[in-house]
Amino acid sequence: MTGVIIEYIPYRISDHDAAEFVAAYRRAAESLAAAPECVDYELTRCMEDPEHFVLRITWTSVEAHLEGFRRGPSFRAFFAEIQPYVGAIEEMRHYEPVGVHGSGAATPSLYSWAGGAAALDELCAVFYRAVFADPELAPLFRDMDPGHPHHVARWLGEVFGGPAVYSEARGGHAHMITRHLGRGITEPQRRRWMQLLIDAADEVGLPSDPEFRAAFVGYLEWGTRMAVQLSAPGVEPDLTEPMPTWGWAVAPR
């Protein structure tokens, strides 16, 4: 999502009022949850200074907050709950992301969850053996570079949050795109490709938990459809597009 802004509202609340303050925000939060202008919100309490609370609200834009939410149907109920605490607000301002963000390693990448480079190499080795034995796909891969399964394993690894070895060794996204140009991949071939890769994932024992499989298949749905589009006659792709990255929960592009 682009253009979101974050509103921070620090409060100073006495220990005596803290429990009721949190309870009021729990009720007020129902209005935030119902507001299409609100992306997410969180109320936190300072551990070193327990009279200090900070409310963070991510809005889709400043206008959405000030003109949409404040004038919309949820605001009255929201304000009724928090109104007793308005005098305890220390600041109420909007902050714009500056592009420094990310997540830490507390949540494993799809790459490490899958088993890293060795697991993806095994996946691709099994997959391309099946591709060669498949009458629908074999003709497309007739002139395939013998290193192809390894290259695709590196590609998948990088997309799934592993080291950037495909970019370093093969030229990144631009190279992958050019390898599909003009191949005229059909919809039945795309489906077959996906099916064989999912079968290979089962055969080599990639994790079968629904969260991993949803992310894995989600990427394949997206990537194979891109491959079909790119392979159509006359396509002039944008070779400057960055490597895609894929995580556990990916918003629609």
Residues that bind ligand HEM (CB under 6 A): 137, 140-141, 143-145, 148, 151-152, 155, 170, 175-176, 179-180, 183, 185, 189-190, 193, 220, 223-224, 227
Smallest distance, Å, CB 103 to ligand HEM?
23
Indicate the Cα dihedral angle 226, 228, 229, 234, nearest 10°. Answer: 140
Instruction: Return the number of the residue (108 or 188) whose C-beta is nearest ligand HEM.
Output: 188
Smallest distance, Å, CB 179 to ligand HEM?
4
Residues 57 and 25: beta-carbon distance below 8 Å: no
Instruction: Return the number of the residue (31 or 224) whose C-beta is nearest ligand HEM.
Output: 224
Write phi, then psi, for 93 (nearest 5 degrees).
-135, 160
Between CA 49 and CA 121 the distance in angstroms is: 51
Between CA 211 and CA 219 the distance in angstroms is: 12
Between CA 192 and CA 137 the distance in angstroms is: 8
Write phi, then psi, for 59 (nearest 5 degrees).
-110, 155
| Residue labelled with tokens 């605001």 | 75
Report how far apart the first and last C-alpha atoms of the chain are (Å, whole number): 9
Neighbours of 249 (CB within 10 A): 8
Smallest distance, Å, CB 130 to ligand HEM?
12
Instruction: Return the number of the residue (82 or 220) whose C-beta is nearest ligand HEM.
Output: 220
Smallest distance, Å, CB 152 to ligand HEM?
5
Is 65 labelled as part of a ligand binding site?
no
Is 175 labelled as part of a ligand binding site?
yes
Smallest distance, Å, CB 182 to ligand HEM?
10
Smallest distance, Å, CB 224 to ligand HEM?
4
Instruction: Return the number of the residue (22 or 144) whose C-beta is nearest ligand HEM.
Output: 144
Partnered with residue 6 across adjacent β-strands are 58, 95
Instruction: Return the number of the residue (9 or 185) whose C-beta is nearest ligand HEM.
Output: 185
Between CA 136 and CA 143 the distance in angstroms is: 15
Between CA 223 and CA 23 the distance in angstroms is: 46
Instruction: Return the number of the residue (36 or 182) whose C-beta is nearest ligand HEM.
Output: 182
The token pair at 170 is 């093969």
Which residues make up each annotated binding site for heme?
151, 175
